[in-house]
Chains A and B, each alone.
Chain A
């Protein structure tokens, strides 16, 4: 097997090959490290960790030789640079953490390593996970491996987990971890032609993940198949006493029951996700997805989620409010950047002025404003009341349906040089992903087809709290019907014709 073949394997196939002795974890890691070095133009990684990767791979091979292989033993993965990794630079895509080396490990990464996975490195991201393009990273934009048919301009991978998505799409990681606050796993998965899963709020521990908006942040996997995503989710999910909102309920073996059988399931199709300005190719793909599920034996049910259009404006109060509070800790005193000044307040202001990029500054200022005296009730409490209505819409819908099908994003991947002067235009990227975030629901994006321009488009499946098994089941039915090649960016000649 060539090194290229090794990087193109799925997780289940790779585990099979490792078990048969067809190749070693070290060979698998080496193949990925070489591919990473050859793909540095994508800027998907902020930090590559070859020494750790090889040491972990050797330990994995030793375990396997003793017959003690773990569930993900030897699988090379990438980790969003938002997760604290002990002894490895963790920047959150920000200048203010350009020198931060955590003395501890986040819970979800610790769980991955405890399952035998091998760390390839830390991936690029929008600064503090604030963005939908990866353009706000202090460490430069990530370039998607995908190109449009008749337009050579480099494309964004989406964001904020842009590096994690691009790495999996470019076969320089077999799977990866991201975080999703308002769509930061699902939207880049859609743009990059891969699977991205945001679990139910509370399913995965937030401990050791740099906080953006604590009532929304959730860790989740990227992979090139629904089954692989299910395997990664099982490894990272579970109760953690160190996260006060972690939920103590059993973690199922998500992959074991997965067969894509949707017969008898009721699939909701919300009218509000079809605004007049929805691009035709996206509307057509959604219709195709509905037809696929109907053909697979599901019952399609028209539903209404009346407060859908309120979700994005409510999000842009709640998320910045929480961010302004969470980011108060970056003060140049205990870790991270310090810009010296003669006086303490001046030092804070100089440090934070230089350390935060424009989008982070914008959101912290908005959050500070909506929480300030005299505005708290009009903005923050109003948004939290609207949030309750959004959650109620979903709860009512889920009395009638088992899952909901929508497009993941309102566009395909835009060029790196697309205008970004209007923050609202960028925020609209998350219009279909934010509502479920507000309600804390699980959601997945499955690559389902190509846009008119020849770029990937995803469909989103949403489920009831902690019903990831149904979400995965519906996702696999779509995956099977779509037959999309998640490595299509690497072999344009083999990509589905359009």
Chain B
């Protein structure tokens, strides 16, 4: 498994994490190591095995469709880095 700097740049953008140019190479090597390590799974015969979705066999519960919580605007906004009135504020998206 080999990863080049462009691939790391692409993954980092997908993950929305800025990686400085001089870090792309060492990060690529780390990721290669990990991908090399997990490659051994290719040797495992999983023919006909269903992917495991849950650690405990269960069907997801449904609850009655009623309001159980809410009216907590100030609590929800309490940790906002920036707010405008009753809203989270972000840099301008649409001029």
Contacts and interface: CB of A to CB of B under 8 A. Distances in A.
Interface of A: 99-101, 103-104, 200-202, 215-216, 241, 244-245, 247, 307, 309-310, 313-314, 316-317, 324, 328, 331-338, 340-350, 352-354, 356, 361-362, 364-366, 368-369, 372, 379, 381-389, 391, 422-424, 427, 438-440, 465
B11 A356 contact: no
Contact of A369 (B11, B44, B55, B61): B11
B15 interface: yes
Interface of B: 8, 11-20, 27, 30-31, 33-35, 37-42, 44, 46, 49-56, 58, 60-61, 63, 72, 75-76, 78-82, 88, 90-91, 93
A372 B11 contact: yes
Contacts of B53: 215, 384
B8 to A, nearest CB: 7
Given A316-B34, A386-B44, A335 B80 contact: yes
A101 B80 CA distance: 11
Given A103-B75, A349-B16, A440 B56 contact: yes
24 contacts: A99-B79, A103-B79, A202-B58, A241-B61, A314-B41, A334-B88, A338-B81, A347-B90, A348-B16, A349-B13, A352-B15, A353-B20, A364-B17, A365-B12, A366-B34, A366-B35, A369-B35, A382-B44, A385-B49, A387-B51, A387-B52, A388-B52, A423-B30, A439-B55
Nearest to A425: B33
Nearest to A356: B17
A352 B56 contact: no
Given A362-B34, A389-B49, A342 B44 contact: no
A359 to B, nearest CB: 10
B17 to A, nearest CB: 5
Contacts of B50: 385, 388
Contacts of A104: 75
